Amino acid sequence: MSFDDADTLSMYRRMILIRRFEETAVGLRTGGEIYGPVHPYIGQEAIAVGVCSQLSAQDRIASTHRGHGHCLAKGADPAKMFAELYGRRDGYCGGKGGSMHIADFSIGMLGANGIVGASLSIAAGAALAAQFEGAGSVAVAFFGDGAVGTGAFHEAMNLSSLWNLPVVWVCENNGWAVRTPLSENVAAEQVTTLAGAHGIPSVQVDGNDVEAVAAAACVAVSRARAGHGPSFVEAVTYRMTVHAYLDKTVPDPRDPVEREAWRQRDPIDHYREVLTARSVLDGTADAGLRSTIEAEIADAVEYARRSPLPSLSSALDDVFSAEEGVLA
Amino acid sequence: MKMNMTEAFDQALIREMKRDQRVICMCTMPMPALEREFGPDRMRHLPISENGFTGLAVGAALSGLRPVVVIRNTTFSLLAMDSIVNQAAKARYMTGGQASVPLVVRTEFSNGARMAAQHSQPAYSMYAQASGLKIIAPATPADAFGLLTAAVRSDDPVMCFEAARIASSSGDVPDDLDSVPIGRASVRREGDDVTIVGLLHTAGLAEAAADILRQDGIFAEVIDLRSIVPLDSSAIRASVRNTGRLIVVDESVPTCSVASEVLSLVVEDDETFGALRAPVRRVCSRPVPIPFSAELEDFVLPDVADVVTAVRSVLASELSR
What ipTM is given for this predicted complex? 0.96
Q: Is the pLDDT of residue A170 over 90?
A: yes
Task: Write the pLDDT tens digit of every residue in A83-141.
Answer: 999 999 999 999 999 999 999 999 999 999 999 999 999 999 999 999 999 999 999 99
Q: Is the pLDDT of residue A247 over 90?
A: no
pTM for this structure? 0.97
Q: A89, A128, A327: best mutation site toward chain B, by most B Cβ within 10 Å?
A: A128
Does A159 contact B183 at a Cβ distance shorter than 8 Å? no
Helices (H), chain B: 5-19, 32-42, 50-62, 74-77, 81, 89-94, 124-128, 141-153, 201-214, 233-243, 258-267, 270-275, 294-300, 304-316
Is residue A17 within 8 A of residue A48, CB to CB? The reply is no
Q: Are strands B186-189 and B220-224 parallel, antiparallel or unpaired?
A: antiparallel
Reported as a pLDDT band with limits 50, 70 and 90, residue A251 is: confident
Query: Which residues make Cβ contacts (< 8 Å) with residue B178, sequence separation at least 6?
Result: B146, B149
Where b means 16+ CB within 10 Å and e means fewer, A213-223 reads bbbbbebbbeb
Mean pLDDT of A35-63: 97
Is residue A159 within 8 A of residue A182, CB to CB? The reply is no
DSSP letter assigned to residue A97:
S
User: B320 and chain A: CB distance < 8 Å anywhere?
Assistant: no
The CA-atom distances, in angstroms, between A11 and each of A15, A51, A64, A236, B23 are 6, 10, 21, 18, 39
Q: In B, which residues are within 8 Å of A105 by CB distance?
A: 62, 95, 98-99
Q: Which chain A residue's Cα is nearest to B89?
A: A319
Mean pLDDT of A32-53: 97
Q: In A, which residues are within 8 Å of B91 by CB distance?
A: 111
Task: List residues of B with catalytic annotation.
Answer: 50, 119
Mean pLDDT of A212-240: 98
Nearest to B52 among A91, A132, A156 (CB): A156
pLDDT of residue B275: 97
pLDDT of residue A323: 61
User: B317 and chain A: CB distance < 8 Å anywhere?
Assistant: no
Nearest to A326 among B52, B83, B230 (CB): B230
Our CA angle for A53, A56, A62, nearest 5°, is 80
Task: Write the pLDDT tens digit of every residue in A262-285.
Answer: 999 999 999 999 999 999 999 999
Instruction: Tell me the shortest Cα–Cα distance from A71 to chain B, in angstroms.
Output: 13
Mean pLDDT of A243-256: 89
Residues of chain B with confidence (pLDDT) below 50: none
Q: In B, which residues are within 8 Å of A65 by CB distance?
A: none
Instruction: Tell me the shortest Cα–Cα distance from A4 to chain B, in angstroms.
Output: 32
Sign of CA dihedral A80, A86, A87, A89: negative
How many angstroms separate the CA atoms of A13 and A284, rounded? Answer: 14
Does B98 contact A115 at a Cβ distance shorter than 8 Å? no
Q: Is the pLDDT of residue A327 over 50?
A: no
User: B28 and chain A: CB distance < 8 Å anywhere?
Assistant: no
Task: Write the pLDDT tens digit of every residue in B251-262.
Answer: 999 999 999 999
How many angstroms separate the CA atoms of A51 and A165, rounded? Answer: 18
Does A125 contact B232 at a Cβ distance shorter than 8 Å? no
Within 96-135 of B, beta carbons closer than 8 Å to A belong to: 96-100, 131-132, 134
Does B233 contact A328 at a Cβ distance shorter than 8 Å? yes
Does A94 contact B60 at a Cβ distance shorter than 8 Å? no
Does A111 contact B182 at a Cβ distance shorter than 8 Å? no
Query: Which residues make Cβ contacts (< 8 Å) with residue A322, sequence separation at least 6?
Result: none
Domain range annotation of chain A: 5-327
Matching CATH number, A5-327, of 1.10.4190.10, 3.30.300.180, 3.40.50.970, 3.30.450.20: 3.40.50.970
Instruction: Tell me the shortest Cα–Cα distance from A165 to chain B, in angstroms.
Output: 11
pLDDT of residue A326: 46
Nearest to A121 among B64, B65, B83 (CB): B83
The terminus-to-terminus CA distance of chain B in angstroms comes to 51
CB pairs under 8 A between A and B: 164
Does B87 contact A110 at a Cβ distance shorter than 8 Å? no
pLDDT of residue B318: 75
Nearest to B47 among A103, A124, A162 (CB): A162
